[in-house]
Amino acid sequence: MTHPHAAEALQATAIAGIAGILIAGTVLAHLARRVRQPAVIGEITAGILLGPSLLGLLPGNPTQRLFPDEVRPLLSMVAQLGLLLFMFTVGWELDWTTMRRRKSSVAGVTAGSILAPMLLGLGVAAVIYHSHSHVNGEKVPFSSFGLYLGVSMSITAFPVLARILKDNNLSRTKIGALALTSAAFGDVLAWCLLAGVVAIVTASGPSGFTDTLWMSAGYGAAMIVVVRPLLARGVAWVSKRGTGVHLATLVTAGLLLSAYTTSKIGIHPIFGAFAFGLVMPRKPEALLEQRMLRPLQHAGELMLPVYFIVTGLSVDVAAMSLTAWSELGLILAAAILGKLLGAGLPAKSFGLGWRESTGVGVLMNTRGLTELIILGVGLNLGVLDQTLFTEMVLMALITTAMTGPLLPILFPRSRMDLIAGAAKAPSRARIPEPAGEQTSDLAG
């Protein structure tokens, strides 16, 4: 039993640690924006620097003093709440209307950007498996290892990509819209694939996997048939009469219960939060944005930086060997080529030029926080060891960071203004469609 004074001391240490995380994250996010990088790059970097990669190397090991082992479960709980709020907002903000447009071109880019990196990831897994086949003394089956690495390679961070497109004035261009819509579809597909991989990893034999599969199907059906109509009625009631109802509080309770349900089924809680966001009504949009989305986003912004330090505590760049750096090079090559070829070639086949097709591939290489979430799940499940986890985090950081500098090279300012201007003009450029498919405006 923990002594009351000891518990209070741990809580005080956690509070001080969170304060340090918020300060470091804010400073590094500001610096990232100054060099035309998304804020998440600075926040991820802050998490790594506060861990054993830098702060832990200083005399007295300040990392251990700020974040002792006894405090880390408290930090993990805060990080988990921030993560669940973030996953809910990602699910809610997916624009289904936009995703229905340009079905053939979007489907081609989505499929290619998922399959090509996944296949290359499986190839990398076959090469490096012998070095990472045991985690915490337990042998990891190659099927779990290979599938997990493949899915990790296939991720595109939809929220970070949206921010990069907005910062570069590309949101309403056919290039930006194609990349963003494909990333949105890809996100949904990747989370479904990941849920399947997690179910395989955690299931106790074939019968356990079958049970998880059936329970997941029942959960999905219940969310669509029961929960979605109930939420629609509840939101309609609040919009008419419930001016005093704390909508954000009730929604938070709902997404937490959904996360709890998926956890009991045998898949990660983040899938429950994401699914709750998917079935949450979108209208009345003004009401939901003001009284649900903004409060949850603000709460998530306060708690989510803690996730970066929890991640950073498992990243040890200083401990990487020459072999690990060579593995990182292989992982980077597979991740970058997979997206460039998998997204770029389908985009070219639908009428874009080589420069624009390459731009789509570069944009789809954005991984950011979404990748960190998936890697964290793999680390917790014992599929990834700490060395490979570090390599994959660095891959996510590099592939996301390279997007900002490459866009001005592919699209110089004069060309960027021309592309953005064309998107606003009445006669906007269109991506050619195959015969028989109705053409719709992707840029809007």
Report d(CA 418, CA 334) in Å as an integer: 33
Region of residue 169 (phi > 0: left; psi between -120 and 50: alpha; otherwise: beta)? left
117 within 8 A of 333, measured Cβ to Cβ: no
Tokens of 198: 């997690």
Tokens of 440: 């719709």
Predicted local confidence at residue 322, as pLDDT: 94
Report d(CA 290, CA 299) in Å as an integer: 14
Predicted local confidence at residue 256, as pLDDT: 95
Report d(CA 325, CA 330) in Å as an integer: 9
In the chain, the amino acid numbered 208 is G
Strand ranges for 45-162 from DSSP E: 134-135, 138-139
Instruction: Tell which residue, 231, 168, 198, 225, has the closest CA to residue 366.
Output: 168
What is the full per-residue pLDDT of the chain (444 aa) written as tens digits?
Answer: 556 677 788 888 888 888 888 898 899 989 988 888 888 888 888 888 988 888 888 888 888 888 888 888 888 888 889 889 988 988 887 766 655 555 556 778 888 889 999 999 999 999 999 999 998 888 988 988 998 899 889 888 877 787 777 777 776 677 777 887 888 777 778 777 887 787 777 765 566 667 777 888 899 899 999 999 999 988 888 877 766 568 888 899 999 999 999 888 877 788 889 889 989 998 888 888 888 888 998 888 888 888 888 888 888 898 899 999 999 999 999 999 999 999 888 888 877 788 888 888 888 888 877 888 888 888 888 899 999 999 999 999 999 888 888 888 887 754 544 444 444 444 333 333 333 333 333 233
DSSP 440: -
In 10 A of CB 429, how many CB atoms? 17
Sign of CA dihedral 101, 107, 108, 114: positive
Tokens of 12: 């005080």
Q: For the whole prediction, is pTM greater than 0.85?
A: no
* Degrees, nearest 5: CA angle 73-79-82: 150
**Three-class secondary structure of residue 36 per DSSP:** coil
Q: Measure Cα distances from 63 to 287, 312, 389 in Å.
A: 43, 10, 19
Q: H helices of 266-315, where?
A: 269-279, 285-288, 294-312
In 10 A of CB 16, how many CB atoms? 14
**Beta-sheet pairing, 134-135 with 138-139:** antiparallel
Predicted local confidence at residue 438, as pLDDT: 36
Predicted local confidence at residue 439, as pLDDT: 30
Q: What is the pLDDT of residues 57-73, one digit of tens each?
A: 888 888 888 888 888 88
Instruction: List CB contacts of 197: < 8 A, sequence separation 6 or more.
Output: 144, 147, 148, 151
Q: Which residue has the tokens 């899938």?
A: 271
